[in-house]
Structure 1
Amino acid sequence: MKLKIFIVSLFVLTQAPLVAAQANGGLIFECGAERLTQLKSQLKTYQQELGVDPSVYEVHESGARLRLSLKAPSIYGTLYLRWDPKYNITEERISLPDAKGLTEIETVSKKEILLALMHQGRETVFAGNACHIDALKEHVQIRQMIVAWSEHLHWSFPDGSSAQWNQQYWDRGNLKPGVSLDKAMRDFFIQQDKCSIGCYTATKIVIIQGILDYFRRVKKDDAMADAIIKRLKSDDDVLVGIEPGAMWSFQKPISPEEQKRLGKLLKIQTRVAPMNFVPGDWVYFVNNDPKSSDVDGYEGSNSIYMGRASFDDFYNDNEHHYLYNEKIQNIYNWRNGVFSRSRHFQRMQTLSAEQLHQFGLSPEEGGFLVKNRAIPYFFGFEAF
């Protein structure tokens, strides 16, 4: 990516306080000994295909459990994997549909995604039927597709006014009867000037499109794509409930029923270490400033982690992405009336390395970053 990203990232690397890694995390497979034996060979082949050097990770095997973890996980989590020379990571170019057919874009590599999964800041467990090389490959590619669809967005933000929808497909956020959901979702990206949406809705749209496009166009698995659409329509509101209820348990007490409610497309990982992000994660940043958090739309920020130390910029206010430290500073500066970096840059306050560290902690610790991550199911390999 751009030279600016490397320079800003290097600044944080050299000045930010240390963040401890979580022990015993990484990429985990749990199943019978015979399948694990076969899986170890398949994992080696897959890692060779992605160019992962065997010297950067270690394998731990105990009974029916196989764990892969990075040998020297960064104290800065997964943010700077892209620039660590021992991993030799570059971006990938893939094709996405546009108004004229297909266009090639640059996005996060499957290699970076796999290495992030192997970092010790959390556990990602493939168990039972998901203890399978294809489950891992598909999960990595779905994450890549979610990121790819977030690369070049320029939607409008309602900023206190009502959301706007392309009325050909939507009636105030409800899919019109008889409308193809595939077409309606793709339209968000082709005619971006016809919608004005908040970050919560924008995050769901990107995730739905990434998952649907993978199964419908890339994998050509119409049965799974149709099953996903059926699930989205199960309550007559396709944009509601794609994430589990427990995603929001940090905000206020929620009912036991809501706490147990499963997401239509996503499940939750909890107690994730600071600075641990896997490309394709749905991440939430809380605005802990009492005054500015009362402004509609600025209670917090729903974000997609794009790899390369970057988070989405749905409204193209910062060249289509925010670096980690830019994201922290952006939320902090809402209290200074900076609701647009391009229009209100004179009001911006630059945070110190110590402040960046503090606000990167959980809300319980006075920071912005919720420890939960919403991630895609292992479609076809687990019940969803």
Structure 2
Amino acid sequence: MIYVYPLRFFKVPPSMPRIPENPLAELLRITSVFGMAAGIFLATATVGAQVLPVDSYQASSKTLSESGIVFRCTSQQLLELQPVVDAYLESLGVDLTLMSKQTGVQPDTLAYTLIGPSSISNTLDLIDHASSGLTDELVELPAARGEKTTVLTVSKKEIVYAMLQHGRTTLFIGPACDVQALKDHVGVRQNIVAWTESLAWKWPNGGSARWNKKYWKQGTPVKGPFLHEAVNDVFLNQEQYAMGCFAAIKLVMIQGILDYYRRIKKDPVTSTLIEARLLQGGEPLDDIEPGVMWNFEVNSTPQERARPGKLLGIQYGVPADNFIPGDWAYFLNTDPVTYGKIGYEGSNAVYLGRGKFNDFYNDHHHYYTYKEKLNEVYQWRNKVFSRRRDVARVKPLSAADFERLSKTPERGGIQLDLRGIPFMFGYQNLPQ
């Protein structure tokens, strides 16, 4: 069988059906076999500025009691880092009295964490806390015909507060014992969100994708223009593009990362490196995320699971309510019937901060809240594929339903507990 996807064709052999009779049971079987919970498969996870096997990452997490922003450096580096990190946080308006700074919990470690019970991991409601003083930030982006535009987007301050929350660790180690590594990471995340704020691409609804032929041939850049020019056009001339959410989320990650180093930081060495990594294999949209991100798919292979990402790593075991702006999250459609409908296997989502998730097609005023995103994916099993056309099929969800759906599939929910996160280019050894 040949399945037409927005980005390319996939040939699925008859002996390996694309859709299992019960995808939830299959997910449980596969994750059990490959030991995702135990972290025994040889995948790649990004831990701050160090790329470690998943089992090494999980082992280090057991001994690292801190959450938040953690620097693991030499004693001399920490002495030099603390005042400049404090100054950077204060320059963003971060209230240092709202966080704790721990040193000596482990040798040569400095950890910044929000004050509060370690059981509180929620970042979705940070904007609602008056003490944080969070507001949107106005940033400038390129527009069509050489013009410029401004968008309201998540503030760097909120990104930092989300990183400081309990529940997960952003670790800076080795070459990343540098305040610039933190600044770049925050800047990349903000730029990913900024480019995602006002998208209005077309949804192909199971049909073929549409690309501007001046720059693209079915998701592959044509020869001639630079890669960054082709990617820019997808955002500057959105009316000429139609694609599914898998291609869409890859493009916003590529644009956010590459544009940060080219336009904002003006770092030609790093931007050239990023373009070279993307062009490996001639398909820049392929493999930007690690293959193990899709280990629950029936046609996942050991070779694919061992494949590193070109631009992104993965953090595992993230609490359901913990998102850092710029995260790539995934909501799985666990209904065995509608899972087989092209484009409705699940939802690739970018967290925008302020409790909001992306709306690539402007179907919902450019964003969904967390509950709206859970509800959207859940209602597919009720054949709700258009809120305007299929509104009569919507089945209301209770608070208990939302609580259940926020859990991982093996616990009856639809949300995976992993997050795709950008590499720290220039401050970590990149996987090859």
Q: TM-score, normalised to structure 2's length?
A: 0.81
Q: Give the % identical residues.
A: 44
Question: Is it true that 1:86 corresponds to 2:128 in the alignment?
Answer: no
Residue aligning to 1:324: 370
Which residue identity does 2:187 align to in structure 1?
A: Q
Cα deviation code 1:47-68 (max 9, x no counterpart): 1101111121111112211111
Offset of residue 276 of structure 1:
0.6
1:215-294 to 2 correspondence within 5 Å?
Answer: 215-252=261-298, 254-294=300-340
Closer, same or farther: CA 50–125 of 1 in aligned 2, 3 Å: same
Tell me what 1:49 maps to. 91
Q: For residue 183 of structure 1, what is the aligned residue in structure 2?
A: 229
User: How far apart in 2 are the matches of 1:76 and 1:122?
Assistant: 8
Q: Which of 7, 12, 33 is the matching residue for 2:75?
A: 33
SS of 1:306's equivalent in the other structure is: strand
| Deviating more after overlay: 344-353 vs 232-241 | 344-353
What is the SS of the residue equivalent to 1:235? Answer: helix
SS in 1 for 2:380: helix
Question: Is contact 2:68-2:165 (8 Å) kept?
Answer: yes
- Once the two structures are superposed, residues 234-256 of structure 1 have per-residue CA deviations (whole angstroms, 9 ceiling, x without a partner) of 11111000001121123348444
Judging changes above 3 Å, is the alpha-carbon distance between structure 1 residues 165 and 323 closer, same or farther for their aligned structure 2 residues?
Answer: same
Contact kept? 2:120, 2:167, Cα under 8 Å = no
Q: Deviations over 1:208-259 (max 9, x none)?
A: 0111111111111122111111110011111000001121123348444333
Q: Distance in 2 between matches of 1:340 and 1:121?
A: 35
> Is residue 289–residue 335 contact of structure 1 (8 Å, CA) maintained in 2?
yes
1:94-133 aligned within 5 A: 94-100=139-145, 101-133=147-179
Partner deviation per Cα, 1:300-341 (whole Å, 9 max, x = no partner): 001100001111000111000000000001111111121122
Q: Are residues 255 and 337 of structure 1, via their aligned partners in 2, closer, same or farther at CA, if it must alter by over 3 Å? A: closer
Residue 114 (structure 2) pairs with residue 70 (structure 1): yes
1:62-121 deviations in whole A, cap 9, x for unaligned? 221111111126846110001111111111000000014110110000011011111111
**Distance in 2 between the 1:344 and 1:198 partners?**
20
Coordinate RMSD, CA, aligned? 1.6
CA 1:253–1:159 in structure 2 vs 1: closer, same or farther (change >3 Å)? closer
Instruction: Provide, for residues 135-159 of structure 1, a one-character-per-residue CA deviation record: whole Å limited to 9, x for no partner.
Output: 0011001000000000001111111
Partner of 2:195: 149
Asked if 1:349 is matched to 2:409, the reply is: no
Contact 1:23 1:121 in 2 (8 A): no
Name the TM-score, length of structure 1 as normaliser. 0.91
Aligned residues: 363
Contact persistence 1:318–1:342 (CA under 8 A): no
Q: Which amino acid in structure 2 is aligned with residue 64 of structure 1?
A: D
Query: Matched residues in 2 for 1:258 and 1:273: separation?
Result: 26
Provide structure 2 residue ranges, at least 5 long, that are not aligned to the other structure. Answer: 1-63
SS of 2:330's equivalent in the other structure is strand
- How far 1:354 moved relative to its partner? 1.0
SS state at 2:281 partner: coil
**Partner AA of 2:72 in structure 1:** E
Q: What letter is aligned with 1:71?
A: I
Contact 1:23 1:120 in 2 (8 A): no
Match of 1:230, SS state, is: helix
What is the deviation of 1:345? 2.7
Give the distance between the partners of 2:248 and 2:299, measured in 1 at CA.
25
Aligned partners of 2:198 and 2:217: how far apart in 1?
Answer: 25
In 2, the alpha carbon distance for the partners of 1:129 and 1:253 equals 37
Write out per-residue CA displacement over residues 165-197 of structure 1, whole angstroms, 9 at most, x where no aligned residue: 111111111111222211111111121111110
C-alpha contact 2:121 2:166 (8 A) present in aligned 1: no
CA distance in 2, matches of 1:192, 1:344: 26
- Tell me the secondary structure at the aligned position of residue 86 of structure 1: helix
Match of 2:297, SS state, is coil
